[in-house]
Structure 1
């Protein structure tokens, strides 16, 4: 007579082996392109900059102390905080507004959606070159437009007061249409009966938007917010074309500074230390977002 518990254990082991084989490719790819580079970057940040005559030495946290004592570090961090603090909420708000309009029953609705999504389809470098025609002093579109009203030309990308704002404008223009697609897809999954029932109950449009539509869109908002947060620290293409981080570091952001330290100044330990700090901050923010917003999300 066959032992039933033995058969159950054999079946459980088969399922465990089968599940492990299914997960193995993902684990391998994550280990190769995520976990191992992270560990290697952390290890590299603990050594000094090596040369041919003077090999690198273990310096523990000296590279981090050097970063915190560098005024350029705090300026770049401040620039990125301003950049993220403006681009994230404005892009999400515009994306939601555009999605609501593009989802409404308006004439030429397909053309409206295409117009909103067109900036997203452009490559980053092409978009930056396009905006050079707007920002070029005296002969650019913006200066010619303001010149009609008697304003003098402005060097939008060449002065510290406007350089970062000009980069922010390009990013919002580029990302709002991309985020709109997610909101538009989410809006099309919401049954129209909910709006009809709300109107029958006497709820106005604002009440329906605030009490029904926004809670139902919270999963999409969380997804968009995480993507916007990641995008806020990985901008580098626009800076190469538009400002190269200038003038006087006024528009320099974290990723561009990391690239500059690693490949222009060949200070890879400092670049590794900065990368580790970015990973830590992003991880903490992601945990905070999911821990706080997850409680306000209503999954259907």
Structure 2
């Protein structure tokens, strides 16, 4: 009997590993192996026709001395500091709005979510028409009220904010769906008890609804932060990092180093720095919110 039980257990374990095998192969091929490759490239120097040579942290020292890299880091930090909180607050506001009962609620939900389903390149082309200096819709509206337009994507002062607007427009509707699902999962008994205790809608939102939405908020903020550091599609269509690297972000700079300049070693070091930066930001968010999030 024990031998039969042991054979059954080993058979179940083998079946479980066989079921996991396709996912493990995909993870190894497209996640773990590229990560290992980036780590290897980051500490080796490569040149055509020359065997790779170990370089230690030389590539990382070169990154610290690279003015374009420092500019990309500053741009990305500003980009994240603006787009993440604005997208999250706007998504919450839209979810609270469309969660109420009134005529036309479905159409309003569709309008808020429509930018999310548009391909990123198509959405960027739409905004390219808005931002065009001569025939753009934005400058025409300004001209209608007597205000001179400007080259939104060709000015170092407005190129990065113009990208931020596109990202907020694109992502707020996506995050709204998560907030809407979380709002609909709150029990009516809790909301009714809150109405009895506090007639003020603002008080209920601050002390009842928002604490219940804390797990969703953490999920949304972490995803918004990751998205802020992996933007590349809009840059191809709108600015290509210009003018004068005013809108260059880290992932776009990584793409240029790896595929335009064919420098795998430098790109590997930049990849490691980007991954470490994302891990630190996400870890800091979890640490700051560890005592404020309660799962039901």
TM-score normalized by structure 2?
0.94
2: distance between equivalents of 1:281 and 1:69?
18
2: distance between equivalents of 1:138 and 1:280?
42
What is residue 35 of structure 1 aligned with on the other side?
32
Q: Is the 8 A contact 1:245 1:252 kept in 2?
A: yes
Matched, 1:125 2:139: no
Aligned residue for 1:57, secondary structure, equals: strand
Aligned residue for 1:36, secondary structure, equals: helix
Question: Shift of residue 22 of structure 1?
Answer: 3.6
Aligned residue for 1:152, secondary structure, equals: coil
Q: Deviations over 1:84-139 (max 9, x none)?
A: 11111100100000000011123200010000001011100100000011101132
Identify which of 109, 112, 129 aligns with 1:113. Answer: 109
Identify which of 261, 266, 281 aligns with 2:262. Answer: 266
Equivalent residue runs for 1:235-274 within 5 Å? 235-274=231-270
What is residue 214 of structure 1 aligned with on the other side?
210
2: distance between equivalents of 1:149 and 1:25?
60
Question: Shift of residue 202 of structure 1?
Answer: 3.0
What is residue 18 of structure 2 aligned with on the other side?
21
Equivalent residue runs for 1:23-172 within 5 Å? 23-52=20-49, 54-172=50-168
What is residue 226 of structure 2 aligned with on the other side?
230
Question: Shift of residue 27 of structure 1?
Answer: 2.3
Q: Deviations over 1:26-76 (max 9, x none)?
A: 322211111111011100111123123x44322111111101111111100
1: distance between equivalents of 2:158 and 2:285?
31
Question: Shift of residue 198 of structure 1?
Answer: 1.2
What is residue 288 of structure 1 aligned with on the other side?
284
2: distance between equivalents of 1:141 and 1:180?
27
Aligned residue for 2:157, secondary structure, equals: helix
Comparing 181-190 and 163-172, the one that deviates more: 181-190
CA distance 1:190–1:78, change in 2 (3 Å): same
Structure 1's unaligned 5+ residue stretches are none
Q: Deviations over 1:121-176 (max 9, x none)?
A: 11001000000111011321111111122211200000100000000000000000
2: distance between equivalents of 1:259 and 1:204?
51
2: distance between equivalents of 1:243 and 1:202?
50
Q: Is the 8 A contact 1:147 1:153 kept in 2?
A: yes
2: distance between equivalents of 1:49 and 1:130?
41
Aligned residue for 1:56, secondary structure, equals: strand
2: distance between equivalents of 1:158 and 1:218?
40
Comparing 120-129 and 202-211, the one that deviates more: 202-211
Q: Is the 8 A contact 2:154 2:242 kept in 1?
A: yes
1: distance between equivalents of 2:225 and 2:57?
27
1: distance between equivalents of 2:198 and 2:105?
28
Aligned residue for 1:249, secondary structure, equals: coil
2: distance between equivalents of 1:194 and 1:95?
23
2: distance between equivalents of 1:291 and 1:7?
48
1: distance between equivalents of 2:211 and 2:10?
43
Q: Is the 8 A contact 1:50 1:57 kept in 2?
A: no
TM-score normalized by structure 1?
0.93
Question: Shift of residue 212 of structure 1?
Answer: 1.1
